[in-house]
Amino acid sequence: MRNLALSAAAAASFIGAVVAAPATSGSFNCLSMNVAGIPEILQSNDESGDKTTNTQTIGEKFSEYGYDFIHVQEDFNYHATLYEYDNHTYRTATSGGVVLGSGLNTLANYDWIDFTRITWDDCSNASEDDCLTPKGFTFMRARLDDGVYIDLYNMHTDAGTEDDDETARNSNLQQVMDYINTWSIGNVAIIFGDSNSRYTRTADNIRIFMNNGFSDSWVTEVEGGDPPAAGADAIVCDNPTLVNTCETVDKLFYRSNGFIELTNNGFYYDSLRFLSDNATTLTDHNPIRTEFSYSLNSTFRMSDFVGGPHGTWFSDFTTLRSLPSSPVVSTITLRGGSRLDSVAVTLSTGTTLTHGGTGGDASSLTFSSGEYITSAYLCQGEYDSHTRLFYAKFTTTLGNTVSAGKTTDDCYSFTAQSGYGLVGFHGQDGDEIDQLAIVWGKK
């Protein structure tokens, strides 16, 4: 089964030639909300009404406003009610109630690949029972269009302000950043969730994301780009809040990557959208919303992925975008036997981009002047309980081909837009190629 989890109708459209012609711009929004799903007997959250009814209303509001990506936290023992009254097409499966689950889930209008749950390395019970349940963060690669992917992270860090809480929470934040630096290299990424952090706390390391190339949506839109000073008085929000000039612990961070440019079109506390019929709050957190638009750099296009989420993530995009002009490939080399072992391209600059192992037999193709690859045929299959690339074949503008591996009955064709050719790859590898997508460059 292909790693790209599409509906049957959508998947059918990928059989045969898949032309990498995504929309060059678009828009979407993100909502983060702690839904207070800890059993009422353990935590009331001081909200009016019972939690089952409140959760039903939250689900109904999710449907009413049709948010594109919703990250929820503390989605524990009322999860079934939340999903019963929500109508989003794509939703993560629960990891369980309190003690068993992380409380992290996503509801969306767009599909994704490579969904992963990660538990915190450190937790503390100094102020709260944070070690009672396996809290952590989630990762997914959301697909907005053909070859247009955005990495999404949902987090819920350690709570409290005791020394041990601060130590654990800062470890949590560092763990997310370390994961991004491994699994989101070269990619657009958005982190949103319950950080349990404030900029005004001197011990909170919430600036770690801004110090690593991310922007905070609230800081950008409300604070003019500069967060409140550490040590200043907390800018506390009412619940519900009527203004967005206060600071909550629920945050959203984002970064572009030179291929997909994100534009922040507004940050909002959506508190007034989430009230009961009696105008009381449904949770003790103000939900946060950010409106985004995006545009694609005309120099590059990306294909969809084939294969499975195994091995080590790689992306040639970081190298390619650093070149002074559109990259030109002079040679492509594939290695394969029973499966696809490696792919490599040598650029006219002399740079070689290689991924995979050293097994199999090598097949190379050196291009004539002006020749470049415009189509790809990739096959995947199961080996050792992993989905991997079994076969690859590339065809140039002059009809020359190079191939390696063995075909399967699960194959996909990709054709570049007019004026674009293969310049690199991104995906995951080890001794073989586990997952592969094509980077097309403008000629």
Q: Enter the DSSP assignment of 207.
A: G
Nearest residue to 159 (alpha-carbon basis) of 282, 43, 40: 43
Give the separation between CA 128 and CA 30, rounded to whole angstroms: 28
Q: Which residues contact 340 (CB under 8 A, 6 or more apart)?
A: 334, 356, 360, 388, 389, 390, 391, 392, 404, 405, 432, 433, 436
**Average pLDDT, consecutive stretches of 10 residues, N- to C-terminus, the chain (443 residues):** 36 43 89 92 72 96 98 97 98 95 97 98 93 96 96 97 97 98 96 98 97 98 95 95 95 96 97 94 96 96 96 94 86 98 95 96 96 98 96 98 98 96 97 97 92
Give the separation between CA 265 and CA 82, rounded to whole angstroms: 28
Give the separation between CA 165 and CA 143, rounded to whole angstroms: 36
Both tokens of residue 407?
Answer: 């075909």
| pLDDT value at residue 45 | 65
Backbone angles phi, psi at 182, to 5 degrees: -100, -45
| pLDDT value at residue 129 | 87
Both tokens of residue 18?
Answer: 């898949």
pTM above 0.75, yes or no: yes
| pLDDT value at residue 70 | 98
| pLDDT value at residue 6 | 38
| pLDDT value at residue 198 | 97
Q: Enter the DSSP assignment of 223.
A: S
158 CB-side CA count, 13 A: 30
Give the separation between CA 210 and CA 207, rounded to whole angstroms: 5
Bridge partners (DSSP) listed for residue 429? 312, 433
In this structure, the number of other CB atoms found within 10 A of the CB of residue 273 comes to 16
Nearest residue to 180 (alpha-carbon basis) of 147, 211, 221, 145: 211
Give the separation between CA 150 and CA 372, rounded to whole angstroms: 28
Give the separation between CA 118 and CA 175, rounded to whole angstroms: 10
Nearest residue to 334 (alpha-carbon basis) of 307, 355, 308: 355
Give the separation between CA 425 and CA 193, rounded to whole angstroms: 31
Bridge partners (DSSP) listed for residue 352? 346
Peptide bond into 309 cis (omega under 30): no
Both tokens of residue 75?
Answer: 């989605």
**H or E element, residue 176:** helix 163-183
Q: Alpha-carbon dihedral of residues 217, 221, 224, 227, nearest 10 degrees?
A: -40
| pLDDT value at residue 21 | 61
